[in-house]
Structure 1
Amino acid sequence: MAQDHQADRIVANYLKNRGYQQTEAALRKEAPGTAAGQAGSSSSNAWAPRNGAKVSIPDYILFHNENEANNPSGYQQSYGRLRKWIDNSIDRYKLELRRVLFPIFVHAYLDLVERGLREHAKNFMEAFKADHVELHNQDVLRLSAVTEPQHVAENEVAQNYKSSSFHLRMSQYCFELLLSFLQDNKFMLILRIVNEHVSIRIDALEADASDNEGDIAAEGDGSGDKSTDSQIEFQTITKLQLGKLPPDQPFYAEMERQIKLEQPPDAAELLNEIEKVKQEPRVDAPSILYPPRKLLDIPAAINELREVRNRVHITAQTPVSICAYTFHNTYGDLQTLTISPDASKVAAGFRDSFIRMWHLDAHERHGMNPGPRSQVDKAPKESPAIRRLIGHTGPVYATSFSADQRYLVSSSEDQTARLWSLDTMSNVVVYKGHNYPVWDASFSQQGWYFATASHDKTARLWSCDHIYPLRIFVGHLADVDTVRFHPNGAYILTGSSDRTARLWNVQSGNCVRSFRGHHGSVQTVAFAPDGRTIATAGDDRAIMLWDLSSGKRIKKMIGHTDMIYSLEFSQDGAILASGGADNTVRIWDVKKADTKEIGGVKRNAQGNIIQRPPQSLVSTYPTKQTPIYSLRFTRSNILIAMGAFTVG
């Protein structure tokens, strides 16, 4: 109780020092046991008057004006006046103040719907939705379908906003202007929304107007992230198991036995590499069961050890080496490109429903005659180095190699996924379950399991020995465009046209992280090799880096001038490569902290930005006219880029 009185005195002194009257009298009037007094002790939704400190505004000010609360037109009138006041503000503060309008708009509309004021809610939506369609068009469309009180409880978007806090950054002066305007005009309905659903953090410096993007991202803003984008958090943080799987001891023991038996020239180095793998720490390792590896895989595993041993560490002094494959006479027909883990094979899906296979290594052609290595062409008479896989009845949108490179999974507009044997070059299983085109398919790094993403707004988990899905991941509000497995196989990451990426637990089927911040569809996602960082990108040309443990955004990287198709981390996780429709491959230093992200811009005496610090972009490699569809770092850290040449 003493703490409650002390908090009230802090609030009263703060507001009184800034010219707000009647606060002390209101505090004294409220008895400690009343609902208002009890609400005043809560600090879960607190205003932040200065850096590093938060002060709770008791709810007594929210019920001060009962006439406004009982007025069905109160929201429309108060919101309209706030909007007009912001529009008439000077340009220096207008953009910063506008960011508070969207959460007020959402919760005002939902409150009207919950109170059964259908016509007032409809009029409110029609009057003000145009203000937010540019940045929040999909959310506005979904909310406009919520017209009855029961809809609020049933609609996922409405429930997300009702149970979440909208995070904003605002300068000290703008914060005081806003608070003064709301109190002076007794807009208690809006004050209630701001207190319950908006968390404002005060910056000592004014926000940069050029950063007015209105992002929405899960889990609030990241530690050290000083961007001015608004963010919203939707789910409770749950602990993840992100560690590597324990090594297959019998398999490695057999590898050691064969190496000692054959005694290759680099036997000592190979045995040393095996010991390193066996001694790696296995903190937070999940319990995922996979079939034991076969003895037939030992030669490939030994070659993999050699590649790892010879891995190049990419630094500023040793830039990345890139090998680019351009596919001619295929633009418009070529839908997807995938290269095998050892970079010996390429699979391509085409609009005419075929899959074509190229064997890039002469030793891996399975008896086929060597073809030209200078370029890969689709010619009227196909080279013997090319094999066609026939089975789908619609365009093939995705292909993925298994870990042992004996199988390929593909997905198509025909609503199926198919498993192909690369030993016999034939279709062995057809997987049916999706009701609409399947946009993506991806094997786990351990093989055996694969996942698909579809226009039916779901992703599904499959295994090679079952024709039905093991899990169905439901939660996205639009097409699921891409799917990837976590390195340890315990989670899958999906990107969607609803502008979000989600992380799913493959054992429970639950969504454990939701990443929001993009302004367009999330077309590509990637895991860092350690499994603790992800990257997302897509239509909005921005790359976002996220920390999986906390769900917070690390930074946002901008440089592409068109849609981004592919992301890939280097084998040591220090470099991220991106490729897209702007005909470039770009290399990013993900370990480098951008000073723009932490507010380290240079300003003149008037506070205007005079110089921006360097970004994480390391280098840009343009092609002539080749959009980059796919990227892959080999185990030795050589980057392979692939795309289709465009004519004209």
Structure 2
Amino acid sequence: MKRSRSEHIQTAVLNYLKKRNYTDSEATFKQNFKLEETLLEMTSRVLRNNKISKSDSVSFSIGSLDDYFHSFLELKTFVEKCVAQRKHSKLKGILFPVFIHSFLDLLLADRSTESTSYLRRFGSVFDQSHRLLIKQIENLGIPQDQVFLFQIEELRNCNGKIVLTDDDQLALKIFLQTQENLSLMKIINDRIQIVLPETDDQLNLSNGDFTSTNTSPQKVLSASKTPTKVCTVDITIADARKIIDDVRKSPPALTDLTLIKFKGEGLIHATPSQDHSIFLTGFDNSTVKLWRQGNRIPDCNLPTPDISCVHLGSDALEDVYDRLSMKTQQDVTSLNEDGVVSLHGHSGPVYDSCFTSDNKFLITCAEDSTVRLWDMQDLKNKVIYDAHNRPVWCVDISAYDLYFATGSADHTARLWTTERTYPLRTYAGHQDSVGAIAFHGNCSYLATADRVVRVWDVNSGKPVRVMTGHWAPVMCVAFSSNGRMLASAGEDYRIRLWDVSSGNLVKEMRAHTDTIYSLAFNYDGSLLASCGADCSVYCWNTATISTTGDQKNQHLVAQWSLPNSTQSLINVDFKSTNKLFCYASAT
């Protein structure tokens, strides 16, 4: 019979080993080299590989059986200690799911002997409600067909949810961080869903044990021969695309407006930190004041962030909002001067300020023509940037804190870095005071404005766009998050929206009856908020703005007229959850 290519390869390798007198290697090679396998063996191998490949490969890069023994013993000791300290603790319920998933990981990794040893070692730990299930899974062995895989999948699903209180979750988190056990952390993160008691509507827990009233061991091991039905919706692709387009074109959702009022004479500006935990205000008596939520003095030593727990940006902001205890417009927050930190250094009115992204430093500018950098650790002035020869009206910092820029009454804007006390670039060309400044999101462009809005190339220092149309000084400019649009407004009571790529005017919006002091885009650029001296806040839909066929204020989404006790609105700011914050000076 004609020999296959594999047989030729085997013969060549065996002849080479024999010629070199590698007798041990020859015997091992003969033992491991299989020229054929049965249909059952091939099916088992393919199913196992397919099952393992669906999960993270780290989960199956498992160590020795002793590692699993040690991990479970540490977890068991920790749970027993917590239960002894707190009688109402439900941590005991995590033991059986971890036990089951550890056994299945060993089994699917083709380590049936070790999985059996693991099962016999800890199977006696659990009570009678789990013994029957443990006795039945002893006979699973290596899965040989799809039925066994159905059984394993049902075991994982039935042991994938536990109920723990907040105290139990915190204790478990601390335990996992201190132990640094990768296999245990992977099982809990990937296989087990932890819920709070009030959200548990599927399982009945008795004395903290992981038992379900509607699931028996016999039912767990009964493989379903029919595939699970998938819910389908009778909708065409064209209909789905139309729905998506309608959602995109619909007006963005705006939840509420939060007004924060500062009581004090001579308030000029107010700036929040990026995490909304600190506020900075500048006054005409050359004083800079720091406000903490709850009127508490800023901590000199800021805590190190916990990098072991990652939150979405909106989750972290929601937590900040809860701590700030700020409601909607009906519950206006007023911050008085009790417990406020004052910073002294400037010799004239403080016009603008900004925080670094990590809240370690803040930058202020004033009429004394200086820019100062303050250290939030000890609240001292560390650096003085002195290059302008007239009052400095505005300051802005770029993404990642690469640069900061200032605009001055000397008709120039200057580019700085915190590492040097002299400017990196000087942008000259304006015919009047530079009263507004803003960085593009990519840090490569800078917008400045007097009565004309100019966009500069940060690296070359050359203007790349010149946008004319305002007939009065511009007080504020803002780039959209995607960098495609630039908004400007000021003493002519009008908001102009520009296309950055072409420099053309997209839309002029009129609603304010007095000077506009602040503009802000939301996180996706679909909303633009404005506020000013008329004590009104307007919110515009910029997602569908076009230059033709628009009626007056057609794209106005919302507007607020604020109480008479509000003297002036000086800043407006969006958060990533589309919540709008406005800062005002109170009479």
DSSP 3-state at the match of 1:403: coil
Q: Does 1:582 align with 2:534?
A: yes
Query: C-alpha displacement at 1:632, in angstroms?
Result: 1.1
Q: For residue 573 of structure 1, what is the aligned residue in structure 2? A: 525
Query: C-alpha displacement at 1:348, in angstroms?
Result: 0.4
Equivalent residue in structure 2 for 1:321, among 256, 269, 278 = 256
Q: Evaluate the alpha carbon distance shift between residue 361 and residue 505 of structure 1 in structure 2; reply closer, same or farther with a 3 A threshold.
A: farther
Query: C-alpha displacement at 1:635, in angstroms?
Result: 2.6
Q: Evaluate the alpha carbon distance shift between residue 613 and residue 485 of structure 1 in structure 2; reply closer, same or farther with a 3 A threshold.
A: closer
Q: For residue 641 of structure 1, what is the aligned residue in structure 2? A: 582
Q: Which runs of 4+ in 1 moved over 6 A?
A: 258-268, 361-364, 370-374
Amino acid at match of 2:369: Q
Q: For residue 563 of structure 2, what is the aligned residue in structure 1? A: 624
Query: C-alpha displacement at 1:637, in angstroms?
Result: 2.4
Q: Evaluate the alpha carbon distance shift between residue 560 and residue 448 of structure 1 in structure 2; reply closer, same or farther with a 3 A threshold.
A: same
Q: For residue 546 of structure 1, what is the aligned residue in structure 2? A: 498
Q: Does 1:560 align with 2:512?
A: yes
Equivalent residue in structure 2 for 1:598, among 529, 548, 552 = 548
Distance 2:355 2:184 in 1: 30
| Cα deviation digits, residues 260-312 of structure 1 (max 9, x gap) | 899799978xxxxxxxxxxxxxxxxxxxxxxxxxxxxxxxxxxxxxxxxxxxx
Query: C-alpha displacement at 1:329, in angstroms?
Result: 3.7
Equivalent residue runs for 1:327-476 within 5 Å: 327-330=262-265, 333-360=266-293, 365-366=298-299, 375-378=333-336, 382-384=337-339, 386-476=340-430
Distance 1:585 1:259 in 2: 53
Q: Which has the larger radius of gyration?
A: 2
Q: Evaluate the alpha carbon distance shift between residue 372 and residue 619 of structure 1 in structure 2; reply closer, same or farther with a 3 A threshold.
A: closer
DSSP 3-state at the match of 1:346: strand
| Cα deviation digits, residues 52-93 of structure 1 (max 9, x gap) | xxxxxxxxxxxxxxxxxxxxxxxxxxxxxxxxxxxxxxxxxx
2:392/2:407 contact within 8 Å kept: yes
2:271/2:354 contact within 8 Å kept: yes
DSSP 3-state at the match of 2:492: coil
Q: Evaluate the alpha carbon distance shift between residue 558 and residue 421 of structure 1 in structure 2; reply closer, same or farther with a 3 A threshold.
A: same
Query: C-alpha displacement at 1:397, in angstroms?
Result: 0.5
2:287/2:350 contact within 8 Å kept: yes
2:278/2:298 contact within 8 Å kept: no
Query: C-alpha displacement at 1:634, in angstroms?
Result: 1.6
Distance 2:534 2:288 in 1: 26
2:394/2:436 contact within 8 Å kept: yes
Q: Evaluate the alpha carbon distance shift between residue 645 and residue 440 of structure 1 in structure 2; reply closer, same or farther with a 3 A threshold.
A: same
With normalisation by structure 2, the TM-score equals 0.51
Q: Evaluate the alpha carbon distance shift between residue 587 and residue 430 of structure 1 in structure 2; reply closer, same or farther with a 3 A threshold.
A: same
Distance 1:432 1:364 in 2: 29
Query: C-alpha displacement at 1:434, in angstroms?
Result: 0.2
Q: For residue 173 of structure 1, what is the aligned residue in structure 2? A: none
1:451/1:461 contact within 8 Å kept: yes
Amino acid at match of 2:292: H
Q: Evaluate the alpha carbon distance shift between residue 317 and residue 543 of structure 1 in structure 2; reply closer, same or farther with a 3 A threshold.
A: closer
Query: C-alpha displacement at 1:585, in angstroms?
Result: 0.7
| Cα deviation digits, residues 89-123 of structure 1 (max 9, x gap) | xxxxxxxxxxxxxxxxxxxxxxxxxxxxxxxxxxx
Q: For residue 123 of structure 1, what is the aligned residue in structure 2? A: none
Query: C-alpha displacement at 1:586, in angstroms?
Result: 0.3
Query: C-alpha displacement at 1:631, in angstroms?
Result: 1.1
Distance 2:491 2:396 in 1: 21
1:342/1:635 contact within 8 Å kept: no
Distance 1:566 1:363 in 2: 27
Distance 1:259 1:469 in 2: 50
Q: How many residue pairs align between the two structures?
A: 323
1:344/1:364 contact within 8 Å kept: no
Distance 2:436 2:362 in 1: 17
Distance 1:413 1:443 in 2: 19
DSSP 3-state at the match of 2:576: coil
Equivalent residue in structure 2 for 1:478, among 418, 425, 432 = 432
1:439/1:481 contact within 8 Å kept: yes
2:249/2:543 contact within 8 Å kept: no
Structure 1: runs of 5 or more not aligned: 1-257, 269-312, 601-611
Q: For residue 200 of structure 1, what is the aligned residue in structure 2? A: none
Equivalent residue runs for 1:51-450 within 5 Å: 316=251, 318-330=253-265, 333-360=266-293, 365-366=298-299, 375-378=333-336, 382-384=337-339, 386-450=340-404
Distance 1:264 1:527 in 2: 42
DSSP 3-state at the match of 2:435: strand
Amino acid at match of 1:383: D
Distance 2:261 2:397 in 1: 25
| Cα deviation digits, residues 2-38 of structure 1 (max 9, x gap) | xxxxxxxxxxxxxxxxxxxxxxxxxxxxxxxxxxxxx
DSSP 3-state at the match of 1:366: coil
Distance 1:383 1:441 in 2: 28
Query: C-alpha displacement at 1:593, in angstroms?
Result: 3.0
Amino acid at match of 2:577: S
2:541/2:556 contact within 8 Å kept: yes
Q: For residue 517 of structure 1, what is the aligned residue in structure 2? A: 469
With normalisation by structure 1, the TM-score equals 0.47
- More divergent stretch after superposition (318-327 vs 460-469): 318-327
DSSP 3-state at the match of 1:446: helix
Amino acid at match of 1:571: Y
Distance 2:184 2:289 in 1: 37
Query: C-alpha displacement at 1:396, in angstroms?
Result: 0.5
Distance 1:543 1:416 in 2: 30
Amino acid at match of 2:356: S
DSSP 3-state at the match of 2:441: coil
Distance 2:181 2:441 in 1: 27
Amino acid at match of 1:622: S
| Cα deviation digits, residues 365-406 of structure 1 (max 9, x gap) | 4279x999874444xxx422x211111111100010111111
Amino acid at match of 1:349: G
Distance 2:527 2:419 in 1: 36
DSSP 3-state at the match of 1:435: coil
1:396/1:412 contact within 8 Å kept: yes
Distance 1:392 1:314 in 2: 48
DSSP 3-state at the match of 1:488: coil
DSSP 3-state at the match of 2:506: strand
Q: For residue 217 of structure 2, what is the aligned residue in structure 1? A: none
Q: Evaluate the alpha carbon distance shift between residue 259 and residue 459 of structure 1 in structure 2; reply closer, same or farther with a 3 A threshold.
A: farther
Q: Evaluate the alpha carbon distance shift between residue 488 and residue 263 of structure 1 in structure 2; reply closer, same or farther with a 3 A threshold.
A: farther
Distance 1:467 1:599 in 2: 51
Query: C-alpha displacement at 1:536, in angstroms?
Result: 0.4
Query: C-alpha displacement at 1:335, in angstroms?
Result: 1.1
1:404/1:447 contact within 8 Å kept: no
Percent of residue pairs identical: 36
Query: C-alpha displacement at 1:314, in angstroms?
Result: 12
Distance 1:526 1:409 in 2: 19
Q: Evaluate the alpha carbon distance shift between residue 377 and residue 477 of structure 1 in structure 2; reply closer, same or farther with a 3 A threshold.
A: same
Distance 2:549 2:419 in 1: 52
Amino acid at match of 2:370: T
Distance 1:261 1:426 in 2: 47
Q: Evaluate the alpha carbon distance shift between residue 262 and residue 334 of structure 1 in structure 2; reply closer, same or farther with a 3 A threshold.
A: farther
